[in-house]
Amino acid sequence: MAAELVLLNGKVITVDGDFRIAQALAVAGGRIVAVGDNAQIADLKGPQTKVIDAAGRAVVPGLIDGHAHLDREGLKTLLPSMAGVKSIADIQARIAKLAQAAQPGEWIVTMPLGDPPHYRCEAGDLAERRYPDRHDLDRVAPDNPVYIRSIWGPWRHTFPLVSIANTRALRMANVTRDTPVPDDTVEIDKDRAGEPTGIFRDKNLYPLVEFTLMAAAPRFTIAQRMAGLKRSMRIYNSFGTTGVFEGHGVAGEVIAAYQGLRADDAATVRAHLVYSPSWKMLGGGDPAELMQTWGAWLGGRGLGDDMLRVGGIFVDLAKEGDLEKDGANDPRAELLPYTGWSGFYYDSAAPKAVIQQVLNQAARQNIRAVCIRSDMLPLFAEADMVSPLKGKRWVLSHINLLDDDEVDTCERLGLVLTSHTNRYILRESAAAAKRLGPHRARHIVPLRTLRDRGIPVNTGTDNVPVTLWPSIHQAVTRHNRDGAPVAAPEECVTREDALRMATVNGAKLTFEEGVKGSLEPGKLADFAVLSADPLRCEADALKDIVAETTVVGGRAVFER
């Protein structure tokens, strides 16, 4: 039988057990049927076979992002952009144009001020050295409620998050001079007469204003989330990403968006979604008892297929001082089940005693637990005493600092890990190394140590940026944002190791190393033809690699 697709003239980096390099591959039925040289694979061509000429380029298995927040990227294009504004006049011109196209009374809601992905636009960056207020917006949109949204805090980790409303929007939201703030982390800016100016300042990493004071503004709909998710997938595909693991958990509305794309056969990224529970929406029930009702669909590998699967549960500890350590009382829970930018429930954190009960029950029912904080490891260890975790592949995601004892725990419990080097190596490693001193700097994302201990680590982006190639570069070089190497260069990994982290180790997150993560006969035909050879290019060029062609299940889903 002839192949449906063949790739010829490539440097096919298989990432198999021997890290074999081939020249060509063939696909039928969405799976790889042969890997070899040009002559071997050319014999499998038929009159209807699609041919990809790699023209000497490197070909790698589709990359798997272990902490993607993929759904969020496409949301950035659903609202009108405020990128490139240099003055209040620029902002007014954008709003005026939107008002001309809107019906009277129709809401105008925009993206935050500034350029993506970080939206760095402070008051001092504008010609007038101040933010526009409600009166500035009223002049160009007197008949429409206008709201300029704040950023999603993790996009740049600086405060405050600023959003701006005009008079009509304030009126519709019932914000007056007497309106109390929902929390002392929020400021309603006021003029000399004590009236709100329309400017809100929010010191929360996850914006609070839109869930409370400006809850009247339109929210993302499922149709919008589906449209955004479809666009997100194409963006991730453009860098060779063909799979994601959502290690922070996702809410029901995000699951619904994925299900919609899957039903339409429009998904181009394979996704394993971890469930983000909302303890508030579950009422006063005992979380551990509720876990017993979830075992049928969250347990084991969860429910779904090779394209979309939901399984496992995200868990988090309520931090000291967070609303009496009760995440269910978070003011953001006011709009549940709506989640805004986050895509996960804000009230998934709970007190230690509750989380321990949940973990113990999860261990009994073979429901995988996923967390993003190493201080959860003692709780994982206690659950291991209830029912051994070895082989269940619980996940410590987003790793930052891991000392020797924590590495021992990860190995003993059989955990799989994901990294977030964009933050902990690129942005924060210099300060961390200075704080820790030379003897402990090796604890900063200790990838080589983890590799040597046989603990699988998968690379993640956290959506900042969407491409995994900078993360691969950071794993290889341990360079921070200044281009300087972080202390403990012995924790660098080889390029081969970094590719394994981004491919087959991602498959191990979801027990799928037998079907994806390397280019071998019988595995899913997910691969990318790259702009540069990751094994031979200059080290600093790693971060700039893009996909020329990306294939998922034997179908080209991106071509540059």
Rounded to whole angstroms, the Cα distance separating 273 from 251 reads: 9
Contact of 243 with 270, CB cutoff 8 Å: yes
Region(s) of the chain under CATH 3.20.20.140:
224-511
Averaged pLDDT score across all residues of the chain: 93
Give the pLDDT band (50/70/90) at residue 367. very high
Per-residue pLDDT at 407: 97
CATH number of 224-511: 3.20.20.140
Backbone angles phi, psi at 367, to 5 degrees: -100, 120
- With CA atoms as reference, report the closest residue to 156 among 430, 478, 422: 422
Give percent of the chain above pLDDT 90: 82
Strand-strand pairing, 31-36 and 24-28: antiparallel
Taking residues 454-462, report their average pLDDT: 96
Rounded to whole angstroms, the Cα distance separating 543 from 559 reads: 20
Can you spell out the DSSP letters for 235-288? HHHTTTEEEEEEEEEE-HHHHHHHHHHHHTT---SEEEEEE---TTTTTTS-HH
Cis peptide before 117 (omega within 30 of 0): yes
Give, in order, the Cα–Cα distances in Å from 180 to each of 177, 198, 346: 9, 14, 22
Give, in order, the Cα–Cα distances in Å from 481 to each of 386, 427, 470: 44, 6, 11
Give the pLDDT band (50/70/90) at residue 322. low
446-473-505-345 Cα dihedral, nearest 10 degrees: 80
> What are the tens digits of pLDDT across the range 136-190?
999 999 999 999 999 999 888 889 999 999 999 999 999 999 999 998 999 999 9
Please give the single-letter amino acid code of residue 146.
Answer: V
Contact of 212 with 203, CB cutoff 8 Å: no
- pTM value is 0.95
Please give the single-letter amino acid code of residue 540.
Answer: D
Rounded to whole angstroms, the Cα distance separating 526 from 506 reads: 13
Q: Which helix (H) or strand (E) holds 481?
A: none
Q: In the predicted model, is pLDDT for residue 366 greater than 80?
A: yes
Q: For residue 53, how many other CB atoms are within 10 A of its CB? A: 12
Cis peptide before 182 (omega within 30 of 0): no
Give the pLDDT band (50/70/90) at residue 286. confident
Q: In the predicted model, is pLDDT for residue 11 greater than 90?
A: yes
Three-state DSSP at 90 gives: helix
Rounded to whole angstroms, the Cα distance separating 359 from 381 reads: 10
